Amino acid sequence: MAIKVGDAAPDFSLPAQNGSTVSLKDFRGQKAVVLYFYPKDDTPGCTAESCAFRDQYEVFQSAGAEVIGVSGDSSESHQKFAAKHNLPFILLSDQGDQVRKQYGATAAFGLFPGRVTYVIDQQGVVQYVFDSMFNFQGHVAETLKTLQTLNK
């Protein structure tokens, strides 16, 4: 069952590209989280989406949010992907897609992992869900609008 607006975001702990373990609860009470699930490192759509988040990263930080990308790729793959594209945010390895399944960000068209972004407020409640396989820029623009609304 997919997570929707108003739901408590399921907590998780996953390995990051730098070897540390990151838990969603680490941000509770401190920052909002923009959690985006993407299919695969270094593919054209995922690169476009991740670079769009990179290009607006300072704006997200100014809005009080941390950006976290999640895919089934290994931490080593994430490390190479982040270095190649100068990605300043956290990339988490969800090998086996357990967290993706927990959030309901499952297969698009039944073929490959979906592209879904969640805005989670400081209390751990989902405030926005954007689900689009092809509107890469929309993931960034719409989540920024939501964050700016939350901060008013």
Q: Which residues does the annotation mark as catalytic?
A: 46
Identify the CA nearest to 93 among candidates 76, 113, 81, 117.
76
Q: Element (H or E) spanning 42, and its range?
A: none
d(CA 55, CA 51): 6
Establish how many alpha carbons lie within 13 A of residue 55's alpha carbon, considering only the half-sphere containing its beta carbon: 11
Identify the CA nearest to 103 among candidates 89, 116, 119.
116
Identify the CA nearest to 151 among candidates 59, 24, 51.
59
